[in-house]
C-alpha cells in the first residue's frame, strides 16, 4: 500500500488507543481500572440536553454556517465577556467540532511548511502530531529544573527565525499544573515583541482548585482582539462534561477567523447542529454543574495525591487543576511505556506513559472516575510495585500472586 509520507509520520493517539484497550479487556470480563481516562463521568447539563433534543424533535437537522450558528456565537460572546472581560464581535468567533479541531484549523491557518511551534513539556499528546499534520515542526521545551513549567528564558532560547507560534495549556494536561500568572504575562509580551502567534488552549480553564481564579491572557496585552495575535481556544468537552458532543471554539482577530472559516468550510463545514444547540444550552444555562464538577474533582485529587504519597519512592506534585496527576515512578522503572504495560498486564490498571507527554519516568493517572476506582487502582499499583506489600492480592474475585521481584 502506498500511503502518504504524512500518514506514515503520524502516530495514533495513545490515549484513545488506551481507551480501546480498556474497553476490549472489559468486554472480555477483565476487572480493568481505567486511570487513563480523559473525561468527567458526570452528566451533561440539563439545559444542554433540552436544547439539543428540542432541535432533534423538529426532525430538521440542517447544515449550519461554517463558523457556527448565530445563537452559539452569541453565547460564546457572552461567555468571553464574562470570563475574559472582552466584548468581541461574531466575526471574532468560530465554532468547531471540539477544541481539537479548533487547534488543528488554527495551525493550518497560520503555519507554512517548516514553521516551528513551541510548547512546554509536558504537553498534551496531540500537539506534536497536529503541528506535523499542518506541515510544521514541533518544538517542545523542557524545564531544566525538571519541573512542569519552563522559564520564559528557556522558551525564548528555543525561538528562532522559523518560530511561528507558542501553545500554552494551563491548567495543563498531563501535569495538572496551573502556570504562574507572571509566566503567562511574560509569554504574552514575548509573543507580541517577536510578533508571533500565541495559542491559549483553555480547555480546562475553569477546572481549577484551592480557590484560585483562572488566569486571563487578555489581562496582559494592551492590544485589542483585532490587532492581537492571541488565539484563545475553549470547549464544552471537559468543563461541561460534554466530550461526545464535539464542540469547541476559537476567539481571535477577524482576519484569522475569516481564514480559519475558509479552511473549515472546505474541510468539514460547521460543527453538528445538535451539538451547537447543546453548547448554547450549556453556556447560557445554569452554571452550577461546573462548580459541582470542580468540587468533586478537587476532592478526588486530594484522595489521589494522599494515596500516591503513601507509595514509597513515588514523587508527586499536587495538581492545581484538570483531572490529571503526573507522578514520578522512576524509582521503580525508568521506562514509562514498560511500566504502563506491566501494570496493565499484572494488575489490569490503565495509566498513560509519561513519554507520550514528553516526560519519561512518569505516568498520567486521572482522577475523573470514582473515589473507589482511584483507591483500588492505586492500591493495585502499589501492590504490583512495592516489594514490601503482601504476596497476594484479590481483584475481581481472582487471586493474584506476585511472581516478580
Ligand X SMILES: Cc1ncc(COP(=O)(O)O)c(C=O)c1O
Instruction: Give the interface with ligand X as residue ranges (CB under 6 A).
Output: 38, 98-100, 124, 169, 173, 201, 203, 235, 237, 243, 248
Helices (H), 36-146: 46-58, 70-84, 99-110, 126-133
Rounded-to-integer distance, Cα 334 and Cα 365, Å: 17
Nearer CB in complex with ligand X: 80/382: 80
Q: For residue 350, what are the β-bridge partners?
A: 34
Q: How far is the CB of 201 from ligand X (least distance, A)?
A: 5
Cα separation, 30 vs 22, whole angstroms: 9
10 Å CB burial of residue 374 (0-12, 13-18, 19+) is buried
Classify residue 185 as exposed, middle or buried by CB count within 10 Å of its CB (0-12, 13-18, 19+).
middle
Name the minimum Å distance from CB 347 to ligand X.
Answer: 25
Instruction: Write down the least CB distance from residue 61 to ligand X, Å.
Output: 21
Shortest gap between Cβ of 241 and ligand X (angstroms)?
Answer: 11
In the complex with ligand X, which residue's Cβ is closer, 44 or 393? Answer: 44
Strand 398-401 and strand 392-395: the pairing is antiparallel
Considering the complex, state which of residue 247 and residue 393 has its C-beta at the smaller distance from ligand X.
247
How far is the C-alpha of 333 from the C-alpha of 349, rounded, in Å? Answer: 16
Nearer to ligand X by Cβ, of 38 and 176: the residue is 38
CB atoms within 10 A of CB 76: 24
CB of 100 to ligand X, least distance (A): 3
Closest by Cα among 91, 61, 63 to 76: 91
Q: Report in angstroms the alpha-carbon separations of 300 from 241, 296, 327, 367, 379.
A: 16, 6, 15, 6, 15
Closest residue to ligand X, Cβ-based?
98
CB 400 within 8 A of CB 394: yes
- Closest CB 45 distance from ligand X, rounded Å: 16
**Contact indicator for 289, 240 with CB cutoff of 8 Å:** yes
Closer residue to ligand X in complex, CB, 251/385: 251
Q: Which is nearer to ligand X, 158 or 241 (CB)?
A: 241
CB-nearer residue toward ligand X: 204 or 218 = 204
Q: Which is nearer to ligand X, 169 or 382 (CB)?
A: 169
- Smallest separation (angstroms) from ligand X to the CB of 391: 38
Place of cell 470570563: 83
Cβ closer to ligand X: 40 or 327?
A: 40
Least distance in angstroms from the C-beta of 203 to ligand X: 4
Using CA atoms, how far residue 177 sits from 42, 105, 164, in Å, is 23, 26, 25
Least separation in angstroms between CB 202 and ligand X: 9
Amino acid at each position: 500500500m502506498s500511503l502518504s509520507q504524512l500518514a506514515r509520520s503520524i502516530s495514533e493517539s495513545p490515549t484513545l488507543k488506551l481507551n480501546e484497550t480498556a474497553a476490549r479487556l472489559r468486554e472480555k470480563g477483565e476487572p480493568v481500572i481505567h486511570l487513563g481516562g480523559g473525561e468527567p463521568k458526570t452528566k451533561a447539563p440539563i439545559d444542554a440536553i433540552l436544547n439539543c433534543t428540542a432541535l432533534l424533535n423538529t426532525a430538521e437537522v440542517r447544515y449550519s454556517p461554517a463558523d457556527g450558528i448565530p445563537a452559539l456565537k452569541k453565547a460564546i460572546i457572552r461567555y468571553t465577556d464574562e470570563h475574559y472581560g472582552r466584548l468581541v464581535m461574531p466575526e471574532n468567533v468560530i465554532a468547531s467540532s471540539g477544541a481539537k479541531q479548533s487547534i488543528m484549523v488554527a495551525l493550518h491557518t497560520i503555519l507554512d511548511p517548516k514553521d516551528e511551534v513551541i510548547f512546554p513539556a509536558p504537553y498534551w499528546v496531540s500537539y506534536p502530531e497536529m503541528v506535523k499534520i499542518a506541515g510544521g515542526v514541533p518544538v517542545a521545551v523542557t524545564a531544566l529544573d525538571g519541573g512542569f513549567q519552563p522559564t520564559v528564558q528557556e522558551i525564548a532560547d528555543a525561538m528562532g527565525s522559523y518560530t511561528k507560534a507558542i501553545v500554552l495549556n494551563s491548567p495543563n494536561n498531563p501535569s495538572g499544573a496551573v502556570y504562574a500568572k507572571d509566566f503567562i504575562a511574560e509569554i504574552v509580551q514575548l509573543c507580541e515583541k517577536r510578533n508571533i502567534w500565541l495559542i491559549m488552549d483553555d480547555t480546562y480553564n475553569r477546572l481549577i482548585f484551592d480557590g484560585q481564579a483562572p488566569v486571563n491572557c487578555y489581562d496582559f496585552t494592551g492590544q485589542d482582539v483585532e490587532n492581537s495575535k492571541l488565539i484563545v481556544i475553549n470547549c464544552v468537552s471537559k468543563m461541561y462534561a460534554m466530550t461526545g458532543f464535539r464542540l469547541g471554539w476559537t476567539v481571535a482577530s477577524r482576519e484569522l477567523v475569516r481564514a480559519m472559516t475558509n479552511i473549515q468550510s472546505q474541510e468539514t463545514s460547521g460543527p453538528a447542529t445538535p451539538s451547537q444547540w447543546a453548547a448554547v444550552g450549556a453556556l447560557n444555562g445554569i452554571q452550577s454543574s461546573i462548580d459541582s464538577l470542580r468540587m468533586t474533582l478537587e476532592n478526588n485529587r486530594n484522595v489521589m495525591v494522599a494515596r500516591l504519597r503513601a507509595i514509597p519512592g513515588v514523587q508527586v506534585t499536587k495538581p492545581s487543576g484538570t483531572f490529571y496527576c503526573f507522578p514520578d515512578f522512576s524509582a521503580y522503572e525508568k521506562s514509562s511505556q514498560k511500566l504502563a504495560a506491566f501494570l496493565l498486564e499484572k494488575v489490569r490498571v490503565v495509566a498513560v506513559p509519561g513519554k507520550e507527554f514528553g516526560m519519561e519516568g512518569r505516568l498520567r493517572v486521572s482522577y475523573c472516575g470514582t473515589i473507589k476506582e482511584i483507591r483500588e487502582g492505586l492500591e493495585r499499583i502499589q501492590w504490583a510495585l512495592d516489594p514490601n506489600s503482601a504476596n497476594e492480592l484479590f481483584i475481581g474475585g481472582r487471586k493474584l500472586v506476585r511472581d516478580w521481584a
